[in-house]
């Protein structure tokens, strides 16, 4: 998601610094960004000069101190509260007092992520959808302390990037992930109960007008990322059975079938995408 969000901001003319924890994952993100721009230019969705200019606005780093001049930082690390809190604490030590800290969390509480900050009013959620360059909606989440100035800045920033901001409350899964949980959950139960195959469920969903079926969507999102979101919403609602993850998700994760990114999920993919 980080690479996709970087592409969105850079395509609109903003200078972007893409951070990751090591050269390996950083290069994966930069390669993903480069190949997305090449594909967009090859298919005529953008011209090749615009693609080159977008790429030139993005620099990679493994040093969080490179964020010192940032006006806005969007964190898109794995869906774990302790990890995100730790990143926020480190960021607050390096960024300017005016810098806005946003999180791309799908399900976690923005208030909890920002709770340890000296200035929690600077934190908000900016929840993009996958793939970020193509999906118009962004949920803008108001944490318990988020200032209205920060909410306005965040909404106007993503609007300037061509997105449609929707302000949502800080509840588990916000709106979209809460609505989406039963979509995945019932599909998994159909598969687990032997009622239908993944391909049949997906075909039916597409025939009914959905752009993608639940299983191909889980493969796109990442089985690990989707299970973390499911677990987080389940825990967020105190183990309400409506949101219980399915054992198939755990089996997929434990066997390394993470979806497109690992070359196999509910479907096989010829090559692992860059
Ligand atoms: N995949 C989706 O469809 C999707 C959609 C919307 C929101 N999200 C949310 O975006 C976030 C990231 O999801 P993703 O699918 O990009 O996950 P991912 O696992 O593909 O990528 C996570 C990235 O974070 C990096 N990382 C690991 N530890 C880090 C740390 N301590 N500091 C900074 N970076 C670190 C990893 O190296 C990796 O590049 C999650 O909060 C997820 O819920 C995901």
Q: Which two tokens stand for residue 80?
A: 């774990």
CB 128 within 8 A of CB 135: yes
CB 201 within 8 A of CB 214: yes
pLDDT, residue 270, reads 85
Give the pTM. Answer: 0.95
Centroid of ligand 1 to alpha carbon of 80 (angstroms): 10
Distance CA 220, CA 222 (A): 6
142 sits in which H/E element: strand 137-142
With a 6 Å cutoff on the Cβ, whether 75 touches ligand 1 is no
User: 74 Cβ partners below 8 Å, 6+ apart?
Assistant: 2, 5, 102, 103, 104, 126
Concatenated DSSP letters of 145-188:
S--HHHHHHHHHHHHHTT-EEEEEESSTTTTHHHHHHHHHHHHH
With a 6 Å cutoff on the Cβ, whether 177 touches ligand 1 is no
Q: What is the CA radius of gyration of the chain?
A: 19
DSSP character at residue 238: T
pLDDT, residue 274, reads 54
With a 6 Å cutoff on the Cβ, whether 175 touches ligand 1 is no
pLDDT, residue 273, reads 60
pLDDT, residue 271, reads 72
Run means of pLDDT, 10 residues per run, the chain, 274 residues: 98 98 98 96 94 98 97 98 97 96 97 96 98 97 98 98 98 96 97 98 97 97 97 97 97 98 95 63
CB atoms within 10 A of CB 265: 23
CB 19 within 8 A of CB 67: yes
The closest residue, in CA terms, to atom 17 on ligand 1 is 78
């Amino acid at each position: 998601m980080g690479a996709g969000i970087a592409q969105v901001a850079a395509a609109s003319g903003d200078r972007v610094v893409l951070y990751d924890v090591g050269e390996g994952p950083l290069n994966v993100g930069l390669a993903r960004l480069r190949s997305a721009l090449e594909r967009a230019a090859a298919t005529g969705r953008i011209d090749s000069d615009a693609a080159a200019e977008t790429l030139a606005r993005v620099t990679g780093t493994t040093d969080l101190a490179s964020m010192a001049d940032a006006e806005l930082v969007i964190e898109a690390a794995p869906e774990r509260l302790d990890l995100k809190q730790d990143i926020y604490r480190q960021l607050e030590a390096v960024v300017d007092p005016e810098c806005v800290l946003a999180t791309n969390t799908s399900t976690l509480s923005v208030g909890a992520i920002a709770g340890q900050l000296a200035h929690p009013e600077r934190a908000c959620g900016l929840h993009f959808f996958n793939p970020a360059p193509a999906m118009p909606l962004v949920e803008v989440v108001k944490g318990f302390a988020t200032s209205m100035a920060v909410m306005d800045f965040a909404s106007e920033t993503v609007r300037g990037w061509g997105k449609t901001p929707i302000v949502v409350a800080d509840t588990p899964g916000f709106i979209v992930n809460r609505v989406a949980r039963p979509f995945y959950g019932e599909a998994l139960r159909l598969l687990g109960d032997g009622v239908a195959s993944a391909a049949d469920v997906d075909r039916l969903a597409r025939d009914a007008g959905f752009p993608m079926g639940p299983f191909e969507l889980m493969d796109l999102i990442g089985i690990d990322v989707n299970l973390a979101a499911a677990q987080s919403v389940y825990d967020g609602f105190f183990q309400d059975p409506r949101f219980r993850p399915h054992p198939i998700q755990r089996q997929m994760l434990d066997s390394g079938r993470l979806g497109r990114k690992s070359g196999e999920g509910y479907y096989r993919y010829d090559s692992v995408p860059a």
